[in-house]
Amino acid sequence: MTAGHCFHDGDRNRVGGVPRYGTTARLGTANTADPAAGVTRSVVWVEQSGTTDIAVTQLDAPVDGVTPLALNTQKPVRGQILTFAGWGATSSTGSWSDQLYWGQVKVAGVRPSTVQVVGHWPAPDTSACPYDSGAPYFMPRTGSAPLLVSVESDGPACPHSSQETTARVDPIVGWVRGVVTDLPPA
């Protein structure tokens, strides 16, 4: 699962099906500088949500040893703390990062298909940056897989202390389970 806008045509319109350009997913590592770390898979198919900026992708081969996040089925609550992780830049003018970064945000607002979040930890300007689109926002749970609440969609130049827009997962859980029929229960 990632941001729907990551898959687009030449006019930046979201598209599904076979990706228009080669796309890979790197799983099972926090540092991509080591080419032997983790697993790399090609994205071979994309399904776009019709109601939010989320796409579900099919990879060219299964991935063993990586537990997927459980899908949140409850409406997020204002003040709730979420963790996010991303491979994006660390500034508005930076490039991709080889190192996975993470931080915490607080839910500032909930709309029908989005969640607005603001920085919480380690600083009030903790935020997503360029190339973080699709980054997961999740709630850790003791003894269970974390719950995926939303994915990165859009925000101001980073770092910033303004609201960041993320795409909610809970309204589309039924659609996701219809596309990915072998997901484990929450």
Per-residue confidence (pLDDT) for residue 52, from 0 to 100: 97
Q: Is the dihedral angle over the CA atoms 134, 149, 117, 124 positive or is it negative? A: negative
Per-residue confidence (pLDDT) for residue 120, from 0 to 100: 98
Same domain membership, residue 129 and residue 80: yes
pTM value is 0.95
The whole-number mean pLDDT for each consecutive block of 10 residues of the chain, a chain of 186 residues, reads 95 95 92 90 98 98 92 97 94 91 97 98 95 96 94 95 97 97 80
Same domain membership, residue 114 and residue 88: yes
Per-residue confidence (pLDDT) for residue 118, from 0 to 100: 98
Q: Which domain holds residue 123?
A: 70-171
Per-residue confidence (pLDDT) for residue 31, from 0 to 100: 92
Nearest to 132 by CA among 173, 83, 168, 90: 90
Q: How many domains, the chain?
A: 2
Q: Tokens 């579900």, residue?
A: 56
Q: What CA–CA distance (Å, rounded) separates 176 from 56?
A: 7
Same domain membership, residue 76 and residue 62: no
Per-residue confidence (pLDDT) for residue 185, from 0 to 100: 74
Per-residue confidence (pLDDT) for residue 183, from 0 to 100: 84
Residues 6+ apart with CB under 8 A from 33: 98, 99
Per-residue confidence (pLDDT) for residue 7, from 0 to 100: 96
